[in-house]
Amino acid sequence: MQAEVHHFHSSLLFRLENGESLPCLDLVYQTWGKLSPNKDNVIWICHAFTGSHEVDDWWQGLVGPGKLFNPETHLILCANIPGSHYGSTGPLSINPQSGEPYFHSFPVFTIRDVVNAFDLLRNSLQISSIHTCIGGSMGGQQALEWSIIQPDLIQNSILVATNAVHSSWGIAFNESQRMAIEVDPTWPESQPQAGIQGMKAARATALISYRNYETYQITQARQENSLGDDLRAVSYQRYQGEKLAKRFNAYSYFRLSQMMDSQDVGRNRGGVIAALRLIKSKTLVIGIKSDALFPIVEQEFLAKYIPGASFQMIDSLYGHDGFLIESGLMTKAIRLWQKLQRLEVNPMADFFKALEAR
C-alpha cells in the first residue's frame, strides 16, 4: 500500500480573514490507506512551517504500516497549506486574473484561513467526521483552530509543541527572519529566486529557536584547536541555510512566518479562554521540556482551559524540533493517552481542577 498524492481545485472565490480574496484555490494533499465504510477512520495530519503534504517523508516514526498511525487501519490525510512551496496555491502560483505569478502580491493567510481551506477539501471528500487531528508547532495551531471552528467534527485532537496565541517572543524571531530576507538586494525583484540568500540567513536564525543551548553544546561541540570556518556551529548554520534554499522559496517563507504570527484563537471570540472552552474533542496536549520557541507553559495553558484535556511532557535534547525527532517518546505518550481514554481516566484534568479549587 503506497501513499498517493492528489490535487483539489476550487473555482469559488476564497475570501480571507483580512478582507482580501483569491479567485480560486488549489490544494495538494496526500492520502495513505482507505476510508472505512462508516467513514470514521480519518487521521488528518497538519504539517508545520516548511513541511509538506508528504507526511510519510517527514514523520516516518509515527506514520506507516505497523506504526502509531497505520494506513492499514486508517485513512491518513495531510494537505499542503496555502502559501507553501509544495503545490498548493502560493506565491509562485499563476494568478488567473493577471496571468503572472503572485510573487509579492500573494496575500497573508491566517491560521483560520488555512483551516477554512482545509474544510473545502474535507467537504469535497465527503468526510463528515475526523477520528484524530494532529499537528505540531504551526500544524498544532491549525488543529487547535479547527477544533474550535467545528467542535463536533474532530473526535480526538493531539496538539504538540503549539500555542493558542503566538507569543511576542515567537513573533520577534519571525520578524528577525523577515528582516534578513528584506535586506537581500534581490528581494524587491519578481522572480523565483528573489530573497534566497536572505532566506538562508533567516533559516539559520530560526534554527537557534528550534534547538537550544544544550543541543548545540552537544551536537555542534567545538573541536580542539578549531577556528573560523572549522567551528562546527559555523558550518552547521550555513549547511542548514543551503539545505532549505534547495527546496523552498523566500516568498513562501516570508508569508508563512506571518501566518504563524496570526495565531490567536480568541480573536473575535471573546478571548482565548472562552474560545478554548468551545472545544468538544478529546484532547491530548504534548509539550517538550526543552522547547525555547513554544515553551511548555503554553501547552500547560492549553491543557488547563480545554475541557477535559490531558497533558504530557516529553524530555528531549532537541528542543522544539523534538516533535519531529522523538518518534518513540511521541508514540509512547499518545498510546498512554489512548489507553487512559479507554479507561476514562484523566489525571491531569483532575490536577488542574484541584489547582483551581485552592
**Using CA atoms, how far apart are residues 278 and 217, in angstroms rounded to an integer?**
43
**Using CA atoms, how far apart are residues 286 and 62, in angstroms rounded to an integer?**
15
Q: Are 81 and 47 in contact (CB under 8 A)?
A: yes
Q: Are 114 and 88 in contact (CB under 8 A)?
A: no
Q: How many other CB atoms are found less than 10 A from the CB of residue 146?
A: 27
Positions marked catalytic? 137, 291, 320
Q: Residue 339, SS3?
A: helix
Q: How many other CB atoms are found less than 10 A from the CB of residue 233?
A: 14
**Using CA atoms, how far apart are residues 149 and 24, in angstroms rounded to an integer?**
22
Report how far apart, in Å, the C-alpha atoms of 134 and of each of 20, 69, 77 are: 29, 11, 11
Cell readout for 247 is 527546496
